[in-house]
Structure 1
């Protein structure tokens, strides 16, 4: 039983690493477009994958971004606000370290809980 749980945990972890790498790829694209002036500084960035999965990036401050990854089927039909969207998605606070030119995840809502994240 514990071997099965370990296998499921490892495969979930691998999947989340792939998702986070995909999100960071788009965050870098968003950051460079904002720096080049191709996008206004206040704008958000929405990426649709297969018309089912979405990535939404919102600039915060000091090279930080809110990244939301969600499956549209998991979103309830009721009107959404930021708290509900975070609750029904994987959300990260991403930080771009310009001195070392690398991205890091400062927080993940599934790790610290939605109440602390919001």
Structure 2
């Protein structure tokens, strides 16, 4: 799965948008510069990109590196004084990220049997 495919999956299944339908290359440049209007989406886009050491949106991503990239956000959301809304969004993100990679494994296994 590529970075772009993962972000598209997340955008389609999170219940909140990361990209607002915008061009991912342009949005990622904006996120890296710290200029996105949505700070959570900005952090997610950059964390997954950086965690996977991507060199473009077509770069491959994997589950472990994606979760590693999001570790600081996940820990912050679980702090005793964190905003409950942030906790719920990050929990949904974690569940959806896991689901994206589960579905990718299922697709790969199905392709091997055909």
TM-score by length of 1: 0.27
Whose helix proportion is higher, 1 or 2?
2
Which one has the bigger strand percentage? 1
Larger Rg: 1
| TM-score, normalised relative to structure 2 | 0.27
Higher relative contact order (CA 8 A, sep 6+): 2
